[in-house]
Amino acid sequence: MSTLLKVDNVDSGYGDIQILWDVSISVDRGEVVAVLGPNGAGKTTLLKTIAGLIKPKKGRITMNGNRIDGLPPEKVVGEGVALALAEKELFPSMTVKENLQLGAFNKGARKKLDENLELVYSIFPKLRERESQRAGTMSGGEQQMLAIGRALMTDARLLLLDEPSTGLAPLMVKNIFTGLRRLMETKTELSILLVEQRIGQAAELSDRGYILSNGHVVYEGDIRQGIATQAFVKKYLGV
């Protein structure tokens, strides 16, 4: 497999407050990579730094060999990176379909709008059923599907997902993960960097993962095996 995203020795944070310390991670083409870690570890900060919402203080980030750190967020989208945040940024008074269409704002994505809309509807059939409904009236889980769908509409090669299952009822969590699994089966060259609190589900979907603690990468490798042992979970995830 070849490397798609590479984060090398990145320091990042907010103003004078440093959150990430010398963080290095990579994602190959077609891979699902989990990022786990306790609350406040810096997981969201990492995703925001990759997406160009925060400029790293040190290190480099490349997509497909092209440097993306320091680029404004919309240019990072143009390099194939799309972020779906836990706190969704949907347009509540617009319909589901309009929200999805708005995801395809960059040039490359506009050309593939129909194809990507079909992809989104095929992984989350609920969105097709509800395409004329206003986004603000959708349930939490449906809005999460919409946020992921909108990220896909940018014609992303790398999806950054920030806790897609947080706050959702078990059935909805299942629907989200089923959709993601279907997505990876349909679009095999896509990659996902998945931040999750639900370590079991994240481990099942991902090929491998990293654990962040206090802004440091403290573990890198197989997650499925690791979380099967209590000592591992206690040591790295503090639960």
Ligand X SMILES: Nc1ncnc2c1ncn2[C@@H]1O[C@H](COP(=O)(O)OP(=O)(O)O)[C@@H](O)[C@H]1O
Q: How many CA atoms lie within 13 A of 119 on its CB side?
A: 26
Segment near ligand X (CB under 6 A); pick from 41-49, 95-103, 170-178, 181-189 = 41-49
CB of 7 to ligand X, least distance (A): 14
CB of 171 to Mg ion, least distance (A): 23
CB of 26 to ligand X, least distance (A): 19
Residues 11-30 that bind ligand X (CB under 6 A): 14, 17, 19
Classified as helix, coil or strand, 128 is: helix
Contact status: 132 vs ligand X (CB under 6 A): no
CB of 108 to ligand X, least distance (A): 29
Amino acid (one-letter) located at 166 = T
Amino acid (one-letter) located at 102 = L
Cβ nearer to ligand X, comparing 54 with 203: 54
Contact 88, 142 (CB under 8 A): no
Q: Strand ranges (DSSP E) for the chain? A: 3-14, 17-28, 32-36, 58-63, 66-67, 81-84, 158-162, 191-195, 208-213, 216-221
The residue ranges that bind Mg ion (CB under 5 A) are 43-44
The residue ranges that bind ligand X (CB under 6 A) are 14, 17, 19, 37, 39-45
